[in-house]
Amino acid sequence: MKITEVRTIVTCPGRNYVVVKIMTDEGIYGVGEGTLNGSELAVAQAIDHASHLLLGRDPQRIEEIWQLLYHWSYWRSGPVYMAALAAIDIALWDIKGKIAGLPVYQLLGGRAREGVLCYGHANGRTIAELIESVQRFQSQGYKVIRVQMGPYGGPGILRHEPPLTPGTPPTAIFDPTPYLIETPRMFEQLRARLGMAVELCHDVHEQLTPQQAAWLAKRLEDYRLFFLEDPVRPEFKEGLRLVREASTTPLAMGELFTSRAECLPLFQNQWIDFIRITPIHVGGLTEARKICVLAEPYQVRTAFHGAADIGPIGQAAALHLQVIVPNFGVQEWTDFTQNALICEVFPTPAEFRDGYAQPPERPGIGVDINEEAARRYPYQRAFMPLVRLTDGSVHVY
């Protein structure tokens, strides 16, 4: 079997997704995803460039192709290249599953659990709204729920300033003090109303210094979080040491990591309890599985990133791995099955029921792309949010 064509598709059924479709001389094709929020066109270019190295190769030699592409780039790693490599890697697993007539999780060793426990995002401008939102998720079957108050950035976001030019994002003005004061109060009220049993997590979004994060983690101890996510900035992982030593609040990190090299010190130092990678940002299933193996002896469990910036193909790839790993924790969940635009472009997203998601049972990854529908929703320029402090300086968090 030989690779004959590599097609890159960028589509926007509500938000941008990057997909690769790898064709073979035997008619079987594979699809993979490499969406990188805000950098979609850069990933598409990287896939196009790498595609010249793929033509004529046997798509069944997944590990060899992964090593070739990783080392051929010379620069190794980096978010754009690892997302491109992920898209290709996942498409190759899709092909292998289709050849075998088996879903990818069967190729990885088979189920270790009946379903993949998921968490959803509850939000509210006030505590009453947030409690209502949590109860809505509970009524949908969720057993783990992320709780955030106010806009992205929480009560620390004082206001938004309009964009400088049309088509660019507004600027959020952030002050850590109200965020630090209000977050323990939020948990105090949630626990008073909801009790201690429901599993709650919270995302700091890397907005604090290590000292501020340690202060917060210590004050949240009594509210028994499932985890506190991204308490410090990802470039200086050593900041976790202070947070770890200050409290027993479980910590989660790794949403911005792109390789095992970034994850390993967090495991070895036992600074985290949950690793937040997702296959489409770390070079695909091949590398994500290795990261899970490295985490296991340190009792670090998986909590894969799965917000709406991960599309249905990336989501399904994550489920195939999450259902087989022994050190599974939880999966962040976006329900695409009720989104008509998404279902038109990506037949058929993975199913969720009573708190658990299932990897598709179809051969391969089990989610396809309808290229004709994808063309009807072309790429739309999009940016990540900008954040400044109250004195106007860029928030270097």
Q: Provide the binding-site residues for Mg ion, judged by CB under 5 A.
A: 203, 255
Determine the length of the chain.
Answer: 397
Closest CB to Mg ion among residues 43, 253: 253
Q: Which of 41/307 has CB closer to Mg ion? A: 307
User: Could you tell me where the beta strands, DSSP code E, fall in 17-162?
Assistant: 17-24, 29-33, 116-124, 144-149, 157-161
How far is Cα 88 from Cα 82, in angstroms, rounded to an integer?
10
Shortest CB 33 distance to Mg ion, Å: 19
SS3 169: coil
Is 40 or 255 the residue whose CB approaches Mg ion more closely?
A: 255
Please state the closest distance from residue 32 (CB atom) to Mg ion, in A: 23
Of 105 and 119, which CB lies nearer to Mg ion in the complex structure? 119
b/e per residue 115-147 (b: at least 16 CB within 10 A): bbbbbbbbbbeebeebbebbeebbeeebbbbbb
- Starting from the edge strand earliest in sequence, which strands make up the sheet with 29-33, in order? 3-11, 17-24, 29-33
The smaller minimum CB distance to Mg ion, of residues 31 and 213, is found at 213
Containing H/E element for 7? strand 3-11
- Among all residues, whose Cβ is closest to Mg ion? 203
Paired sense of beta strands 157-161 and 171-174, if any: antiparallel
Annotation says 152 is catalytic: yes
Q: Which is nearer to Mg ion, 89 or 203 (CB)?
A: 203
User: Can you tell me the distance from the alpha carbon of 82 to that of 86, in angstroms, rounded to the nearest whole number?
Assistant: 6
The minimum distance between CB 329 and Mg ion, in angstroms, equals 14
* In the block, residue with structure tokens 């990540």: 384
CA distance 290 to 48: 26
| Closest to Mg ion by CB, 253 or 342 | 253
Annotated catalytic residue, options 121, 202, 205, 305: 205
Give the neighbor-by-neighbor strand order of the sheet with 386-389: 157-161, 171-174, 386-389
Closest by Cα among 128, 169, 173 to 155: 173
Element (H, E) at 112: none
**Angle (CA) 298 209 272, round 5°:** 10
Query: For residues 160 and 156, what is the distance between their CA atoms, to the nearest angstrom?
Result: 12
Q: Comparing C-alpha atoms, which of 184, 204, 187 is closest to residue 195? A: 187
User: What residues are labeled active site?
Assistant: 152, 205
